[in-house]
Chains A and B, each alone.
Chain A
Amino acid sequence: MRSAAFAIAMIFIGLLALPSSLSQELAHGIDQASDLDEIYNMSLEELLEVDIQTGRPGWFGTQLGQLKVKPYIHGYGVFDYRDYDLNRRKEVETFDMHYFNVLVGANVEDRIAAEVLLEYEHGGDDTGVRYGLLDYKLYDWLMIRMGKFLVPMGRFNEYLSPEYANKLPDRPYCLWRIVPIVWAETGLQLRGQYRPKGLPTLNYAVYVVNGLEQASGDGGDIRDMRGNNRDTHNNNKAIGGRIGFKTDWGLEGGFSYYRGAYTIDGDEYLSIMDLDAEYARYKWTFRGEYVSAVQEAVAGDLHKHGFYAEAAYRIDRHLEPVVRYDQAYMDDGSGNILKRTTFGLVFYPYPTLHPLFNFRVSQSIVHNDGRGDQTHEFVIQCVLGF
Chain B
Amino acid sequence: MRKASWVLVAILVLSLSLAAGAAQDTARQREYRLKAVFIYNFIKFVDGFRFEQPQPDQGEQKGHIILGIVGEDPFEDAFDPLLEKPVGQRYLRVRRITVRPDPNDQQSVDPNGIKILRQCNILFIAGPERPRIDAILKAVRNEPVLTIADQAGFLDAGGIINLGIEENKVFFEINLAAAERANLTLRSQLLRLAKRVIRQDKHSRG
Contacts and interface: CB of A to CB of B under 8 A. Distances in A.
Interface of A: 36-37, 39-40, 42-45, 47-54, 66, 68
A44 B38 contact: yes
Contact of A51 (B33, B42, B168): B168
B192 to A, nearest CB: 10
A45 B85 contact: no
Interface in B150-189: 165, 167-171, 189
Contacts of A51: 168-169
A36 B168 contact: no
Interface string B66-89: 000000000000000110010000
Given A42-B37, A47-B37, A47-B41, A36 B171 contact: no
B190 A50 contact: no
Interface string B16-41: 00000000000100110110011001
Contacts of A37: 81
The majority secondary structure among interface residues of chain A is: loop
Contact of B30 (A47, A48, A52, A68): A52
Contact of B169 (A36, A40, A52): A52
B168 A47 contact: no
A50 B167 CA distance: 11
B13 interface: no
Contact of A47 (B38, B82, B165): B38
Given A36-B33, A52-B27, A44 B169 contact: no
Contact of A40 (B31, B82, B189): B82
A50 B27 contact: no
A47 B171 CA distance: 9
A303 B56 CA distance: 104
A66 B165 CA distance: 13
A53 B30 contact: yes
Interface string B32-59: 0110011001100100000000000000
A40 B169 CA distance: 16
23 contacts: A36-B33, A39-B34, A39-B37, A40-B37, A40-B82, A40-B85, A44-B41, A44-B42, A44-B190, A45-B193, A47-B37, A47-B41, A48-B170, A48-B171, A48-B193, A50-B170, A51-B168, A51-B169, A52-B27, A52-B169, A53-B30, A53-B168, A66-B168
A45 B42 CA distance: 12
Interface string B92-113: 0000000000000000000000
A72 B189 CA distance: 36
Contacts of A53: 27, 30, 168
Contacts of A40: 37, 81-82, 85
B96 to A, nearest CB: 21
Interface string B114-129: 0000000000000000
A52 B193 contact: no
Contacts of B171: 48
B33 A43 contact: no
**Which 10 pairs across A and B sit closest by C-beta, in order of nearness?**
A52-B31, A44-B41, A53-B27, A51-B168, A40-B81, A44-B193, A52-B168, A39-B37, A66-B168, A52-B30
A128 B64 CA distance: 68
A39 B33 contact: yes
B193 A50 contact: no
A283 B105 CA distance: 77
Contacts of A39: 33-34, 37
Contacts of A44: 38, 41-42, 45, 189-190, 193
A52 B168 CA distance: 6
B34 A50 contact: yes
A36 to B, nearest CB: 6
Nearest to A42: B37
Contacts of B168: 51-53, 66
A52 B165 contact: yes
Contacts of A66: 167-168
Nearest to B85: A40
A37 B81 CA distance: 9
B34 A52 contact: yes
Nearest to B29: A36
A68 B167 CA distance: 9
